[in-house]
A and B are shown apart, each in its own frame.
Chain A
Amino acid sequence: MKAYPAEFELVAPRTLPDALSLLAREPGGWLPVAGGTDVMVQYSAGKLPARKLVSIWNLPELRRIEVTADEIQIGAGCTYTDLREHELINREFPLLSSSASWTGGIANQNRGTLGGNIINASPAADSLPALLVYEADLLLVSARGERRVPYVGFHIGYRKTQLAAGELIRAICLKTQFSGYYAHARKVGARNAQAISKVCLAALGLLADGVVDDIRLAMGSIAPIPVRLSETERIVKGKHIDPLLIQSARTMAASEVRPIDDIRSSARYRAAVAGNLVAEFLEQLGARGLRSENAKNVLARWNGLEQGKAAEEILPCCGSKAWAHGMAARRPLLHEAALLAACDEVWKGLPEADWLEAFRSHPRIGDSLSPTSAPARSAAWSGQEQQKVGAAGEDVKIALAAGNRAYEQKFNRIFIVCAAGKSAHEILEILRRRLQNDEITELNQAAEQQRHIARLRLKKWLSS
Chain B
Amino acid sequence: MSQAPLDRAKSEITFTVNEKLETVHVYAMERLLDVLRHELGLTGTKEGCGEGECGSCSVLIDGMLVNSCLIPALQANDTKIVTIEGLAADGRLQILQEAFLVCGGAQCGICTPGMILASLHLLEKKPQPTLEEIREGLSGNLCRCTGYIQIFEAVADAARRGAST
Contact = CB atoms under 8 A, between A and B. Distances in A.
Contact of A107 (B9, B34, B118): B118
B71 interface: yes
Interface stretch (B15-23, B60-68, B86-94): B60-68
B142 to A, nearest CB: 8
A233 B141 CA distance: 39
A10 B74 contact: yes
B136 interface: yes
Interface of B: 6, 9, 26-31, 34, 50-53, 55, 58, 64-67, 69-72, 74-75, 77, 118, 121-122, 128, 130-131, 136-137, 139-141, 156, 160
A44 B50 CA distance: 7
A37 B52 contact: yes
Contacts of A193: 136, 139-140
Given A105-B139, A426-B130, A9 B9 contact: yes
Given A12-B77, A110-B65, A44 B51 contact: yes
Contacts of B74: 10-12, 55
Secondary structure of the B side of the interface?
mixed
For chain A, give the interface size range: 35 or more
Contacts, number: 112
Given A1-B50, A12-B77, A107 B66 contact: yes
23 contacts: A1-B31, A3-B29, A5-B28, A5-B31, A11-B28, A35-B70, A43-B29, A45-B51, A104-B140, A105-B55, A106-B118, A106-B136, A106-B137, A107-B65, A107-B67, A107-B118, A108-B70, A111-B67, A193-B139, A194-B139, A426-B131, A432-B160, A433-B128
Interface in A190-207: 191-194
A111 B70 contact: yes
A35 B66 CA distance: 10
A192 B52 contact: no
A5 B118 contact: no
**4 nearest A-B residue pairs (beta carbon):** A105-B140, A193-B139, A5-B27, A10-B28
Interface in A173-192: 191-192
Contacts of A110: 64-66
B72 A106 contact: no
A9 to B, nearest CB: 7
Nearest to A110: B64
A239 to B, nearest CB: 37
A36 interface: yes
A55 B58 contact: no
A105 B58 CA distance: 11
| Centre residue among B30, B121, B128, B139 by max chain A CB count within 10 A | B139
